[in-house]
Amino acid sequence: MLVWMALSIINCSMVYTFLRHRLFYENPRYIMFICMVINDALQLSLVTALYVVSYIFRKIRISVCCLLIMTAVFTTRSTPLILAGMALERYISICFPLHYSRMCTVPRTLIGIGIIFILTSTPPITDLFITIIKEPQSFFDTTIFCDHSLVFQDRSIYYKNCVFDGTYLSFVTLTLLYTYCKIMMMAHAASTSLAQVKRGRNTVLLHGVQLLLCMLAFVVPSLQAALISVFPHLSLEIRYIFFLLVYIIPRFMSPVIYGFRDEQFRKYWSQNVACKTSIIKVRCY
């Protein structure tokens, strides 16, 4: 809970900084960044709530569990596609600087974000439709330990999600590899500053690390179940360790990649934080 609170404070301060300055929400780069921050904050809050509920109540109504799981799955799957969009923005900025203002506009960015949300909301919605068709109405009135595999039990859901996850994660991985290689090829281009290329290369590389951490969310259930079957007396510790590795650490990287590494955003963010701190001190006195 302390980690969640710390990250929530950081994310809220970054959203506040974004909304306070017009230059940020007129820039496609920062629009995608703040979408990532909001998405990660929502995902972290939902997953934390699910873990707290599972420890305290153990079982909740399936209808409530469905809503929590669907939203958590939606936000988890949105992250890799937003990463791909941010990598493409860096690629266009470095490799096509003269065409950047024409290719990367705010309306196109918003349309791209809308497409991402439609794509990532489709699997959980179809999961719900399949469950409604397969299960009786009384199923949603019962209580259960809130876990995706226990709520959405039909095997067709499992195979459908495997196909979807494999397809779009492959697309994101290829996008990151392609943009990274192209940026590296531009390292010695006369029309592009070397410092800008290095920053773009490091950003895409960090996106790759973040993607690998996000992909753990799709293999953790099987690995976690195997470890718990071998070490049943350590089931709570195993779940907690995977929770930190898969859901907490990747959420630390979003503020770092763009919030703290970006000089312009860092300047305005630090000014707002300093101003708020001064106001709080004055009120305390």
Choose among 7, 5, 169: nearest CA to 79: 169
Q: What is the pLDDT of residue 114?
A: 92
Specify the pLDDT at position 258: 65
Encoded amino acid at 4, one letter: W
Q: What is the pTM of this model?
A: 0.80
Query: What per-residue confidence (pLDDT) applies to 79?
Result: 82
Longest dimension (CA), the chain: 68
- Identify the pLDDT of residue 92: 85
Residues with pLDDT less than 70, the chain: 187-201, 203-204, 207, 211, 213-222, 253-259, 276-285
**For position 282, what pLDDT does the model report?**
46
Which pLDDT score is estimated for 85? 86
Q: Given this model, what pLDDT does residue 214 score? A: 67
What's residue 111's pLDDT? 92
Three-class DSSP category at 144: strand
- At 138, the amino acid letter reads S
Domains assigned to the chain: 2-278 (1.20.1070.10)
Helical (H) or strand (E) element with 61:
strand 60-61
At what angle are helices 155-185 and 106-134 packed, to 10 degrees?
160
